[in-house]
Structure 1
Amino acid sequence: MSDQDILKLFKNGQRDKAFAKLYQLYPRIEKLILSKGGNKADANDVFQEALIILNRNLESSNFKLTSSFYTYLYSVSRFVWSDIQKQMTKKELHQLDGHEVQVFQNVIEEKKYQIAEHAFLEIGKRCQQLLQLFYHKAMSFKEIAQVMQFNSSKIAKNQKYKCLQKAKDIYQTKLKSVES
């Protein structure tokens, strides 16, 4: 099955079939990770991460696959593994071509997304509910106050600010620990 056929499966909503075809590339990615000092469990984790990044990019309307799926997954896997090992030096970054820089940026963005998701899960159920009502359901502070049984819309607004600040603080702390 060609890359174009796999791409068509994704576009037609047949992700399971597309991923089944992509899993045929796993042995080659595993070989890469094993050659870089990883083990089979590392290879599996890296490959899963690469597939997640690919999936997110395919869902983006401005993403265009400019290489084969194998080349793309190989590049992403290499950067994910480098990120895990924290062995990428500034010299190596300067030697990357344009496509590799984009792949590396995608890996970094995925890490930031995961950190943000983790921060959201850590803020507590009540804060999660408040932020979902405000951002996802686009409810007014008056409506939020009624749903969450606050005395006024001003209290709802204040609570939203505190919850958002708590999430930002957690995010920044986690981001700093990953970068260091």
Structure 2
Amino acid sequence: MKHADQKYIEALFKNDVTLLDEIYRKFSGRIKWMVLQNNGTEADAADIFQEALLSIYHKAKTQDFILTCPLDAFLYLICKNKWLNELNKRKTKNETFTEDDGYALGEDSFKLAEDYILQEQRYNLLAEKIAELGDTCKELLRLSWSGKSMEEVAEILHVTYGYARKKKSECMAKLIMLVKQSSQFSSLKW
């Protein structure tokens, strides 16, 4: 069954500037975030996003392409695979994914979309609850989640290692409590 986002696929063919602009406004931010969180740059994210749109265009041009899930989920999956492929090339120059790996359309399209939406709702709830934390907790968690060691985090925050570890534990406990107290928590199948 054709998804309402099929209009974006048609916009690619028609070079509909209004809808193409909407694609970039609505979907590129999440791709940029994903690439930046995985050792990429803004330029990498822009390239991956553009390559994904070209892949969709070529796939739709050569096949009777019907989008059966939200474009957001489909585009994210393509970009994720393309970025993994790029990271793999940079790292080993050996194994790569094929163009169609990971985004064949079929019965799993709705499951993929549902999983993506659930993940997005969880992410939004988590971001909302992180915003409720104090500035110290937000900064400490941001630094520790960025891949820095606790020694580096302590140094950046000008605190002792022991204090940074204890404070992180307290911040995580507070965050978990806020998430679990949310009315959305049980519906998000954590």
Q: Structure with the greater relative contact order (CA < 8 A, sep ≥ 6): 1 or 2?
A: 2
When normalised by structure 1's length, the TM-score is 0.48
- Greater percentage in helix: 1
TM normalised by structure 2 equals 0.46
